[in-house]
Structure 1
């Protein structure tokens, strides 16, 4: 695992995934008994030149595509199809991890992550989360931060 090779402190948290759940991220927050603001969902968007990028926002918020486009320098973004997201990352929807993807995509982390000592992100399958420091996540992924989430 890339985290171990890099010497990054992290903790894996497993929980029983309910296949009937409506929200994988909120399920993780509830199962792990942590505030939803600390659990980040991994979303894949497509820019106007057909490139893909990854955005992480708290599970209690929505991705603001206009803010992400401005941060990324794109005119317009749209969410990637689930098939495109799975093909590009190598992970199934609901288990897409920002780490260890098939090919490294530009990554944007909502700036609110920096308010926490650690955050939770998918470990590559439904029912498994990685807890790590947001700065370590950025270092491992080459990611950047921006205000890309909106509540409600």
Structure 2
């Protein structure tokens, strides 16, 4: 399948980080991680979804968690040293990140934000994150992504 390079891919290229692009057919009615994992033929626990969260100061926080898990807002707030955090409203996603639902990547967001990743990512030689566009995923070494984005690794799932 042909694709155009996304900003996330260009950022990885510039940083000389190895990655593989995985393409899949987009179903506008099903943007769930389990659908993506099935279509790219990868285990759901290595397909990480990127979530946008706001702290009490309305600052954006990014969280990457396995597709088969749910974010624990209290754990994230504690790790991020915030009193309270809440999910960013979907209508604000494009404005705040430059991405649409189903295509949000931890890479190439409008500006750098505090980013957190579920610690289970370190259990795998490679994980998958969005390439910044529906229908495209990036498979890469989790430590490369963590080092590049200065991601804080912690237990942030329920």
Q: TM-score scaled to structure 2, two decimals?
A: 0.91
Is 1:75 the counterpart of 2:90? The answer is no
Correspondence for 1:61 among 66, 69, 75: 69
Q: Is the partner of 2:70 in helix, strand or coil?
A: strand
Q: Which runs of 4+ in 1 moved over 6 A?
A: none
8 Å Cα contact 1:48/1:77 also seen in 2: yes
Aligned residues: 149
Deviation of the 1:28 alpha carbon = 1.1
Matches within 5 A, 1:1-152: 1-21=10-30, 23-150=31-158
8 Å Cα contact 1:24/1:126 also seen in 2: no
* Unpaired stretches in structure 1, ≥5 consecutive residues: none
Structure in which a larger fraction of residues adopt strand: 1
Deviation of the 1:84 alpha carbon = 2.1
* Unpaired stretches in structure 2, ≥5 consecutive residues: 1-9
Q: Is the partner of 1:41 in helix, strand or coil?
A: strand
Q: Is the partner of 1:86 in helix, strand or coil?
A: helix
